[in-house]
Amino acid sequence: MLESIAIIGKPNVGKSSLFNKLTRSRKSIVSDFPGLTRDRNYSFISIKNKKFFLVDTGGIGNIDGFSGKVSQQAWQAAEESSIVLFVIDGSEVLDSYDLSILQNLRKLNKPFFVLSNKADLKKKDAIADLAKNGINTFLSISAEHSINLDEVNELIYTQAPNIAEEFDSHSLKFALIGRPNAGKSTLANTIIRENKLITSEIAGTTIDSIEIEFDYKDQKFSLIDTAGIRRKNKKTEKVEYFSFVKAIQAVEIADVAAVIVDAKEGIVDQDIRIINLAKQTGKPCIIFLNKFDLLNSNERKEFLKCKELQHPIFENIELIEISALKRQGISKALNAITALHQRANKSFTTPKLNKLLNGFLENINVPGIKGREIKIKFVNFGGNNPTTLILHGNVTNTSVPSNFKRFLEKSFNKSLHLQGVTLKLIFKKSENPFSNKKQVLTDRQIKKKKRLMKHVKSKKR
């Protein structure tokens, strides 16, 4: 199960800076103006090949009229997380807001850790106050200057509770995700041929994730029905956040993510966000176009040619037309999930990958960096979920041109038949194995060197 970590604290203590550094992104806006973060920001982080879900929250405190709602969201994130990182400003004394947060954290009865930020400043006023309030173990950091952030990662990795996986590991697990009222629960009932799940035209009927096991063609499946993922600006904040985290956890433990799209309403921005969320987990993804039977022939043609489907995220994803209510396309959908799972777990030999790579590079002008041509010496298979290929050469992930990377991704996707599979390319700079080694001369070479030196010396005379 995916573990979530919440970052909480007063406004302007450095929570967003810490979030950006840990996620290696700039998702959170950073400013000296207190209270700038209003909504929660989410991102995945990977520590020692273990994935976590990190949540940045707004400041808890009476800054302005937003403070009540912002503080409520922060505590909702803390309640639903596995551990909490409590960030304080180490250069200032603890005030009533810090002490109130500390008191409430103790009531949550879950692991929390105090991070004393701004360790680069000379003043350390908060340290004495922490001891007075029973906090003898804390970590001094500087999010802005990346001081002790490796220790933060180590703390998360070692202290986060190990949550046991709740689903049968021998079955093919797929998670149904999508917007509210797209037909996820109806599809689940249709697949298992029972009315186990409550369905309604009212969006948001399903709140928690529900797992159901069934058999199809002598194979065991685990279907995970999840709550609809709304946009963040809805009224029922607590329920929505709970549903959102549960949906992400379901995708993380599933073998396949099945995104349900309401074809009658068409594809909207939220559908694209959900598909992108599924792909970020590295899991294979498939799209079910539900309620397709409600479209006439002209509407179907227009739908399949709509500009939303021209988005790059749809380039490598299979679209399956279904009707959950009328049981249309269900067998095709389950067969497609099985085939996608098999594709996602394929491994590839180094000779095959290198033969393909050489063929790709022969037909293009390979770009250069700072006057040097990019050279890829060889490629090897690196693992599944996502399918990972490691390319060894004279470039790294940060230096390789994005258009060249996209070209290789498309080429490998097409040649390896990876439709629906998330492909990850890692560019690794090859190092000279002899660069740090002193050459050892043979006896013959030593004698020859002595003769040459003797000859040079005699000439100088």
- End residue of a domain, out of 304, 328, 344: 344
Residues 334 and 353 in one domain: no
Q: How crowded is residue 439: how many other Cβ atoms within 10 Å of its Cβ? A: 6
pLDDT of residue 436: 57
pLDDT of residue 339: 96
Assess if residue 74 is contained within a domain: yes
pLDDT of residue 320: 95
Q: Give the CATH number of the domain where residue 378 resides.
A: 3.30.300.20
Angle between helices 350-362 and 402-415 in degrees, nearest 10: 120
Residues 190 and 251 in one domain: yes
**Residue 313 DSSP symbol:** G
pLDDT of residue 289: 95
CA distance 312 to 298: 24
Residues in the chain, total = 461
Residues 286 and 139 in one domain: no
The tally of domains found in the chain comes to 3
Residues 213 and 225 in one domain: yes
Please state, in angstroms and as integers, the Cα–Cα distance from residue 291 to each residue in 179, 186, 309, 324, 352, following that order.
Answer: 14, 11, 17, 7, 42
- Tens-digit pLDDT string for the chain (461 aa): 568 899 999 888 888 889 888 887 665 444 444 444 445 677 778 888 788 888 888 788 754 434 566 777 788 888 888 889 999 888 888 888 888 898 899 888 888 999 988 888 777 667 778 888 888 888 899 988 889 999 999 988 888 765 544 444 568 999 999 988 888 888 988 888 866 554 545 454 444 567 888 888 888 998 988 877 876 554 445 556 666 777 888 888 899 999 999 999 999 988 998 898 888 888 999 999 999 999 999 999 999 888 888 898 998 999 999 999 999 999 999 999 999 999 999 999 999 999 999 999 998 888 888 778 888 999 999 999 899 999 999 888 888 888 999 999 999 999 999 999 999 999 998 765 555 556 677 888 888 888 888 877 776 66
Assess if residue 84 is contained within a domain: yes
Q: How crowded is residue 342: how many other Cβ atoms within 10 Å of its Cβ? A: 11
Please state, in angstroms and as integers, the Cα–Cα distance from residue 375 to each residue in 334, 388, 402, 406, 430, following that order.
Answer: 42, 19, 15, 16, 10
The pair phi, psi for residue 157, each rounded to 5°, is: -65, -40
Assess if residue 90 is contained within a domain: yes
Residues 110 and 224 in one domain: no
Assess if residue 164 is contained within a domain: no
For residue 57, what are the domain limits? 3-159
- End residue of a domain, out of 344, 361, 385: 344
Residues 279 and 392 in one domain: no
pLDDT of residue 423: 94
CA distance 223 to 175: 6
pLDDT of residue 460: 64
Neighbour order of strands in the sheet with 172-178: 210-216, 219-225, 172-178, 256-262, 285-290, 319-321
Residues 192 and 279 in one domain: yes
Assess if residue 317 is contained within a domain: yes
Contact by Cβ (8 Å): 76, 92: no
Contact by Cβ (8 Å): 8, 87: yes
Amino acid at site 454: K
Sign of CA dihedral 165, 168, 169, 173: negative
Alpha helices (H) along 25-146: 67-80, 96-108, 125-132
CA distance 292 to 264: 7
Assess if residue 454 is contained within a domain: yes
Assess if residue 167 is contained within a domain: no
Contact by Cβ (8 Å): 161, 82: yes
Burial of 22 (C-beta count, 10 Å sphere; 0-12/13-18/19+): buried
Residues 179 and 323 in one domain: yes
Alpha helices (H) along 267-416: 269-280, 297-304, 330-344, 350-362, 402-415
Residues 90 and 190 in one domain: no
Q: Give the CATH number of the domain where residue 336 resides.
A: 3.40.50.300
Residues 339 and 350 in one domain: no
Residues 287 and 204 in one domain: yes
- Omega within 30 of 0 (cis) for the link into 386: yes
- End residue of a domain, out of 344, 372, 394: 344
Residues 307 and 406 in one domain: no
Assess if residue 375 is contained within a domain: yes
The answer to whether the pTM exceeds 0.75 is no
